[in-house]
A and B are shown apart, each in its own frame.
Chain A
């Protein structure tokens, strides 16, 4: 809002300034004209209204509105005073065109401003021509007719003559033409002067200066020729005529034509020349502009880029490229030393063969097959390479070099862009290394796992033999000598037998545990209902003894090692029977399909487990109860866990003491690939 009001206030101020100056200049013109600058060309006198310069200045500077104001304020009004008494009625056809003249030029000046002076025919010197023609026609027709009506009734013009010789009309036409052009020329020159522009508050002028001078010069040349021709004519060809006669008063018609033709030719020549100069300047400017634009584009991108021309000379080397290579544009632009920025020895960079138009296969061969055609830039190639000389410890660069073509499609240079991929490469390398490390670790782990299982197997297997000896001979000892030694000896033998027996069970369990990993069979489609049937059959005795009830929901078919699955379910049911409450146990097996896996549960109504023991129960040989209360070595659930893990499932327990326990395990659902 403030800005707007400020602007409108400043524009009001400008308008006021212009109106004032226009009126002042008009008055100034009026006064200057009243000085009556007369040129005497006997028998005629020509009054030169040099004061017209002022409204002309206003109209060319500010447009026709201010021009008209200035003209009406006085600039053009003086002629009513000066010529009115002489011309009588004719003043009505002579004076108004002067005001019109000012408006005419103001109008075209405005048009020039609007079109930024692009059209040559809007030039003040050109638009003067049609006006001058109309004005001339007017002088020969309307003005002469008006003169024939003289004298008019008003007193101050009573001396106006009613006849004029045609020579006088010629004289007036030429005078007006010359004065018109002189005024335009003067105005133009004045408008090029700095202080005038400052005073009129115009922008500094860059264009048109040359144009103006060239046209003025050609016009002056025409006028000069006119004068020289007059001199030569008066001395050589028309010795009987005076210089003034030949200059203006009595020019033979064909001489006049020749001179007018020459002036016109000069003027046209000037116009054409200025036009050509202007076009050249414009194309130079356009070139500079596009060059500047390219430089700005390259400078504005963070992609390191350089450009070479068809002679391999560097034309652009942007900031990002300076940053990447550490070599400044000042060093590189204009040289052909692009290699110095990248290599320690002289060799072409990829942009060079592009400029030479090296065929694709050769290009690929040159880079040992490590470069390839760009997928989306026509004719460009790209490659990855390590540059040991860049930066502190070398850099990996991904670079693309593509041709620059002219409008005919001819290669005129090449552009090369870089991408610093050192970080990516380093990361890739680190990833490869850590992957390798991981692979090794996994392999080692697998190996040590296998060895551990092997060890457990061999240990448990080979320990059996000496244990058997111990056990059997202690038994033999007991058999043969029981009662024959003292009672202590019998006790000791008894403990030795117990220990040996327990150790045998432990070893067997350990063997079973280690066999889960070492003796597993491949996984195949296994019906869980059959598995349950088998498990129940294996536990027939225990089930009958405890009067257990085993029920189940429909069970799925899963990918499993059938014998291990039997063992798993058997162990869980056996567990449920072992830890039953006072009542005969009820064991229920069910299955539920969850995301990507089957969750199979074995629930009982036994003594339950406290939550703090949930993890402990799956550890090998960990027991929650004394061997005397509940039998077992504590291997069952550890084997279960191992079996489930071999099937890539999970096993867990939910339980409430005195209420019962539910074991859950999962088996992944795998697609059967046939």
Chain B
């Protein structure tokens, strides 16, 4: 899922400083699962904003709402009405949701309430770890399912580097060297020959270095 983190309330307050009525808009997708922007966080952020503004002597009216997803048009149909009630919207969705709404509702002032961080897994309650960089050219079949793009600080395709010490990364010693893990895993499987494959310099265009990426499936499109 996409992992996000709430921005400091002081930062959100600065964004909405001129306004008297705002909506705090949550999303029940990834940000709800990673406890950054679901119903519960909408309540917390809204209460914090109201409290801060009340103490500043400039009370704020907050409309609290959470959409099923902010990245699908069918769930945005109520936004036009919502926009009439408020001066601005603080979205607790990931950057995808904020951009999508900004594209479709140019008149609506929308501000990000979270920082969108990475694609991650949830190994335990309250913990999220990056596992994928969305680079568009997956090589997990060669690396025992462990991604050197997301999990190696140097994104090395032919590792480990000389800084790998006792199975740990030299950049942050508490982090396992993923290339060490790949080696151990392939060795245990009797597949060490996979380590002999040399990857050429990576083409980063599928990773987004060629501009925004688009995916289409003609069989799903409606109309011509």
Co-complex (A, B): no
B residues with CB within 8 A of A: none
